């Protein structure tokens, strides 16, 4: 699809072309000003995940372990993922009744929790290779397909869902062989909240050391 | 005879391909949770890593034991692929079985996977039932086997009864094959110890988490590589309710 504002090579009289041009520019302005659904394209989505995968690979190869490695993952997570949206989705309906301060505290605690939880597991990915295979549009966001190659295992599919609706190109979900990170974290956070009788502050406090 | 019937049924199944179910259908939750507590107790007693010991034990020994057990499972998978009307995985798994049973020394090594690009294509009678058009049914947690559905539980029973290896081997050989398969499952449990134990022992609700993970990965496996876009999570469209 041509980008908005691409000159149309149609023979037209100057005045009509100018008028149409102005219209197109206004239309393009509408699309661009509040970044619209078409601002992100598959090349950008692929590029984002390629960069994220490269950084994850170099973090795994860095030889760091424990907290320094988790810190590295947290910085990657913050730069490439839409953490506030992931956190809100994981908290589910409870995020509707949470105050702004609670949401901010929860998001920060959630970020550390995710980095520790998945950071621990990333040790299993030492020597792994992620290959970006392609991207396609799904319901207004992009799905970038990567294949993970692990020694001694059949290659498996990892899908990254990328959106620009936060104002930046960021991923908001990872699906490993059909297993959806947002769904898993919603189950986990929901169970933690139930165990604390719906007390968000208690959840935030415990999340700071969980994972 | 059974094969011909299966192939005929498989033909109908493909035509009447039903949409993948979504969500969680768990009317037996309280009974399932009791089975889960039993399974978790069993796992804690038998497999759980002691404090300070690694959860995952992935070495030459656990790999070999897993390989031998999985190799003995291949003939059953070949039969299931044929019943599903899928000759390609049947042929691949047949060659895999022949190579690993001979060059791979009764399946201890996996030359088929490492040198001939013939990784195992996993399948079972639960998948055959799905291909034939049977619905998933309610979620079930089975003693020792763990997460399942009504359809997959029926499939388990048929797979155990069908067991082509047991039909060919006699007496102590058949017993040895069964022991090797069980040992393979135990070794596999330790090879993926980190994954299993993070779900069982680190989750706030290990029952709910294992149910979710089982249903998601099972539906992915049975749905082939097709993704259902309409069911994709879009937290921007509706951040709260999914």
Would you give per-residue pLDDT tens digits along chain A (211 residues)? 444 444 444 334 444 444 444 444 444 433 433 344 445 777 888 888 888 888 888 887 888 878 888 888 888 888 999 999 999 999 998 999 999 999 999 999 999 998 888 877 766 666 777 888 888 888 889 899 999 887 767 788 889 999 988 888 899 999 988 888 899 999 999 999 999 999 999 999 999 888 7
The pair phi, psi for residue A41, each rounded to 5°, is: -120, 175
Higher pLDDT, B230 or B12: B230
Per the domain annotation, does B233 fall within a domain? no
Would B65 be classed as within a structural domain? yes
User: Are the Cβ atoms of B234 and A157 closer than 8 angstroms?
Assistant: no
Q: How far apart are CA B42 and CA B142, in angstroms?
A: 13
Give the three-state DSSP class for B1: coil
**Predicted pLDDT of residue B4:** 44
Asked if residues B192 and B184 have their Cβ atoms less than 8 Å apart, the reply is no
A188: chain B residues, CB-CB within 8 Å = 203-205, 209
Q: Do B63 and A152 touch (CB under 8 A)?
A: yes
- Asked whether the beta carbons of residue A172 and residue B221 sit closer than 8 angstroms, the reply is no
Pick from A165-169, B61-65, B233-237: least confident: B233-237
Spatial distance between the Cα atoms of A174 and A179, rounded to a whole number of angstroms:
8
The confidence band for B107, taking pLDDT boundaries of 50, 70 and 90, is confident
Nearest chain B residue to A211, by CA: B202
CA-closest candidate to residue B142, choices B164, B166, B159, B128: B159
Q: What's the whole-number mean pLDDT along residues B41-56?
A: 93
What pLDDT is stored for residue A156 in this prediction?
Answer: 86
Distance (Å) of CA B211 to CA A177, B36, B57: 16, 10, 25
CA distance A85 to chain B (A): 7
Higher pLDDT, B21 or A183: A183
pLDDT value of residue B240:
55
Q: Which domain holds residue B165?
A: 2-16+57-185+210-226
Residues of B in contact with A93 (CB under 8 A): 240-241
Indicate the DSSP class of residue A6: P
- Domain annotation covers residue B239: no
Chain B residue with Cα closest to A157: B225
Q: Does residue B240 belong to any structural domain of this protein?
A: no
C-alpha closest to that of B118 among B66, B183, B164, B74: B74
Task: Kindly state the tokens that stand for B47.
Answer: 């497999």
What total number of domains does chain B contain?
A: 1
Is the model's pLDDT at B7 over the cut of 50? no
Q: How many other C-beta atoms can be found within 10 angstroms of the C-beta atom of residue A146?
A: 22
Residue B196 included in any domain = no
Q: Is residue B232 part of a domain?
A: no
The shortest CB-CB distance from A178 to any of B216, B229, B240 is to B216
Note which residues in 34-93 of chain A have CB less than 8 A from chain B: 85-86, 88-89, 92-93
If interface means Cβ-Cβ distance under 8 Å, which residues of chain B face chain A?
56, 58, 63, 113, 119-120, 194-195, 198, 202-205, 208-209, 212-213, 216-217, 219-221, 223, 225, 227, 229-230, 232-237, 239-242
pLDDT of residue A46: 85
Would the CB atoms of A178 and B236 count as touching at under 8 Å? no
> What pLDDT does residue A138 have?
87
Is there a domain that residue B79 lies in? yes
Interface contact flag, A121 B194, Cβ < 8 Å: yes
Q: How much is the pLDDT for A167?
A: 87
Higher-scoring residue by pLDDT: A160, B228 = A160
Compute the mean pLDDT over every residue in chain B, rounded to the nearest whole number. 85
Contacts 24+ apart (CB under 8 A), A29-32: A31/A4, A32/A4
- Tell me if A157 and B225 make a contact (CB, 8 A cut-off): yes
For residue A120, the model assigns a pLDDT of 75
* Token pair of A77 as six digits: 């997570």
Terminal CA-to-CA distance of chain A, rounded, Å?
Answer: 44
Tally A–B CB contacts below 8 A: 102
Report the interhelical angle of B29-46 vs B206-222 (nearest 10°).
100
- Residue B110 in domain: yes
The complex's ipTM works out to 0.75
Residue B228: the pLDDT is: 61
Partners of A141 on chain B (C-beta within 8 Å) are 234, 236
Q: Provide the whole-model pTM.
A: 0.79
Of residues B32 and A157, the one with the higher pLDDT is B32
Higher pLDDT, B16 or B155: B155
């Amino acid at each position: 699809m041509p980008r908005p504002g691409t000159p149309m090579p149609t023979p037209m009289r100057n005045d009509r072309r100018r008028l149409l041009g102005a219209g197109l520019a206004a239309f393009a302005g509408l699309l661009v000003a509040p970044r619209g659904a078409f601002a992100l394209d598959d090349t950008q989505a692929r590029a984002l995940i390629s960069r994220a995968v490269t950084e994850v690979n170099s973090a795994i190869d860095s030889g760091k372990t424990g907290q320094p490695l988790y810190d590295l993952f947290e910085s990657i997570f913050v730069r490439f993922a839409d953490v506030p949206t992931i956190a809100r989705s994981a908290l589910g309906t409870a995020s509707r009744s949470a105050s702004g301060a609670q949401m901010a505290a929860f998001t920060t605690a959630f970020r550390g929790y995710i980095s520790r939880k998945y950071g621990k597991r990333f040790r299993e990915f030492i020597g792994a290779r992620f290959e970006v295979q392609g991207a396609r549009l799904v319901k207004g966001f992009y799905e970038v397909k990567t294949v993970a190659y692990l020694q001694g295992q059949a290659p498996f599919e990892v899908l990254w869902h990328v959106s620009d609706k936060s104002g930046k190109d960021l991923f908001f979900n990872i699906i490993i062989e059909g297993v959806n990170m947002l769904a898993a974290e919603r189950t986990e956070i929901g169970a933690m909240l139930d165990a604390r009788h719906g007390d968000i502050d208690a959840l935030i406090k415990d999340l700071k050391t969980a994972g | 005879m059974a094969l011909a019937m299966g192939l005929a049924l498989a033909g109908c199944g493909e035509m009447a391909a039903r949409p993948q179910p979504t969500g969680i259908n768990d009317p037996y939750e309280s009974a399932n949770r009791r089975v889960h507590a039993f399974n978790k107790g069993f796992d804690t007693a038998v497999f759980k890593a002691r404090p300070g010991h690694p959860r995952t034990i992935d070495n030459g020994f656990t790999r070999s034991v897993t390989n031998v057990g999985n190799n003995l499972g291949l003939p059953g998978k070949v039969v299931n692929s044929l019943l599903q009307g899928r000759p390609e995985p049947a042929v691949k798994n047949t060659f895999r079985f022949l190579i690993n049973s001979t060059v791979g020394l009764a399946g201890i090594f996996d030359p088929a996977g490492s040198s001939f690009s013939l990784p195992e294509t996993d399948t079972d009678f639960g998948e055959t039932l799905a291909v034939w058009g049977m619905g998933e049914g309610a979620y079930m947690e089975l003693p020792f086997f763990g997460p399942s559905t009504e359809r997959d539980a029926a499939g388990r029973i048929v797979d155990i009864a069908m067991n082509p290896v047991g039909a060919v081997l006699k007496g102590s050989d058949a017993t040895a094959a069964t022991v090797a398969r069980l040992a393979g499952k135990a070794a596999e449990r330790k090879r993926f110890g980190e994954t299993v134990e993070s779900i069982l022992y680190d989750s706030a609700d290990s029952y709910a988490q294992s149910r979710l993970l089982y249903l998601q990965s099972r539906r992915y496996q049975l749905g082939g590589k097709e993704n259902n876009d309409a069911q994709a999570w879009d937290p921007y469209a509706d951040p709260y309710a999914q």
